[in-house]
Structure 1
């Protein structure tokens, strides 16, 4: 095809194709693979998709848990067209096959077609973002555990608060998970909060720490469950 179309015309054609088709086209030749996987092309394709958005092209993510006679649970996931017909787009495999039976799966947040999933442990009553999932191309990134904080014995009697957020950073073209962890021995006194701010970068695949002043004071006290 490159013998008949200039490269810039070819790119404009590819930008208007669905993701599943583009994935197939990465096997055509090395030049197409390099083009389709380039970060600039991915960003342009996302912008083109958003600009041409149609309500009938939207998808709804549905999840359900079924139990057998032996009380063994299994999870099911689907994508459905967001249309009056509500037709099934595709079935999805369990994105958290590594999770334990004592955990529940929940949607923590969504952004540009990516879904951030959290695992809720019923025993510890604690939930945290665990996976960033692209259901359309079946790609999953498991988040590493954030660096430990407040491990000193002096914090043993402090109240602990955690807030998380998932969003897109347009300045660095990166998807990030925000974690704000705070401790206080007096819940009513914000000045006595000890706060740790951490950010996970999907592009880097790692966590880094920020100054506590990077977030408003009310978030340092666990003032919002979704501060993104």
Structure 2
């Protein structure tokens, strides 16, 4: 064929047809990163390249996480006896405001955890980038990704017999981007000492004890708040025997302890009746006002030199932390977890509060009872935490 001749019409059509099916890899990535986790789990089987990106690309996981819509993770908990052993059953549900009164999607199936005794309260859940630290009173600790349904059971921590005198935390090391579980516990027979052990997910095979011990005891079964690379624990004043000087901050990159100054509450901060939360990138401390008729919400965004700002005073008596605590912020609303198995919203514009979710009104399939509607007698506790579906592996 001469250079001046054009390709035959049939060959030209074949070339056009072949090029029509080509999609640049960059465009495929931009499409995939916007899809929900459930769809991506199916698409990972389409081809080897997609599977490698979806399952093993850390930069893709972080980009996908930034585009996901946050929701609430609701966990009704029941206690049953099997062969004389008390078992905690937990069911995890994703919940959004527009699902009120409708069927709630099941995020994770039943999780069983043996307890020491049914009256003991489990530690609260913790969430970081789609990973959830499950509440437990047992020696084994579990971290799960409810979106991918993967579960990691951490090994025995060797923390002695005083398992109830423990407090946990989950967060990400800002330097290595690894996720770490921290376990603060008490050891000793007569002279108690506070210790800390750390487990790095994907790296460690056993718990590591920190080089230095925590300088203050922390409140047992009160999960730490993760904020900007650190875990913030509430100091246990009763064990300390004197007023707490602040909050105990554990830096995940250096794995050391720093004292974080509290806000200038009047007359003084009651640590046992306070609650910490990460709200829109700021650390929030909720506590009773000086007259105990309002809930004060102090905000801080600087960890190195805390400058607390009394941002909100909410008129919601007689509710006070820890039974009434902020857990998340969506738009102009702050979500609170209440006692009596319910959650509510405080509208920052209208300055009004309303109950949003009562567990007795939650309609969803319950694999324990086989029913589609919970009744209060069917469970003994509820945990509600903010949650973002992600592909982060455990």
Q: Using structure 2 for the length normalisation, give the TM-score.
A: 0.42
1:58 to 65, 71, 76: 71
Instruction: Tell me the secondary structure at the aligned position of residue 91 of structure 2.
Output: strand
2:153 to 138, 142, 161: 142
In structure 2, how many angstroms separate the alpha carbons of the residues matched to 1:27 and 1:194?
A: 51
TM-aligned CA deviation for residue 196 of structure 1: 3.4
TM-aligned CA deviation for residue 23 of structure 1: 0.5
Instruction: Within 5 Å, give how 1:121-200 maps onto structure 2.
Output: 127=138, 130-146=141-157, 148=158, 162-183=166-187, 194-200=193-199
In structure 1, how many angstroms separate the alpha carbons of the residues matched to 2:20 and 2:91?
A: 40
| Larger helix fraction of residues | 1
TM-aligned CA deviation for residue 167 of structure 1: 1.7
CA 1:31 to 1:167, structure 2 compared with 1: closer, same or farther past 3 Å? same
Please name the residue that 1:156 is paired with: none
* 1:10 lines up with 2:28 in the alignment: yes
Q: What CA RMSD, in Å, does the superposition of the two structures yield over aligned residues?
A: 3.7
Instruction: Tell me the secondary structure at the aligned position of residue 20 of structure 1.
Output: helix
Instruction: Within 5 Å, give how 1:115-126 maps onto structure 2.
Output: 115-120=132-137
In structure 2, how many angstroms separate the alpha carbons of the residues matched to 1:106 and 1:150?
A: 17
Structure 1, unpaired ranges of 5+: 121-126, 152-159, 188-192
CA 1:177 to 1:101, structure 2 compared with 1: closer, same or farther past 3 Å? closer
CA 1:78 to 1:88, structure 2 compared with 1: closer, same or farther past 3 Å? farther
* 1:82 lines up with 2:81 in the alignment: no
CA 1:109 to 1:203, structure 2 compared with 1: closer, same or farther past 3 Å? same
* 1:48 lines up with 2:67 in the alignment: yes
Instruction: Within 5 Å, give how 1:17-28 maps onto structure 2.
Output: 17-28=35-46
In structure 2, how many angstroms separate the alpha carbons of the residues matched to 1:168 and 1:9?
A: 30
In structure 2, how many angstroms separate the alpha carbons of the residues matched to 1:210 and 1:44?
A: 32
Higher relative contact order (CA 8 A, sep 6+): 2
Aligned length: 195
Q: Please say if residues 44 and 50 of structure 2, whose CA atoms lie closer than 8 Å, have aligned partners that are also in contact.
A: yes
Q: Please say if residues 140 and 155 of structure 2, whose CA atoms lie closer than 8 Å, have aligned partners that are also in contact.
A: no
Please name the residue that 1:190 is paired with: none
Q: Using structure 1 for the length normalisation, give the TM-score.
A: 0.68
CA 1:209 to 1:100, structure 2 compared with 1: closer, same or farther past 3 Å? closer
1:222 to 218, 241, 255: 218
In structure 1, how many angstroms separate the alpha carbons of the residues matched to 2:147 and 2:40?
A: 12
CA offsets 1:85-105 (integer angstroms, 9 cap, x no match): 323342332123xx3375666
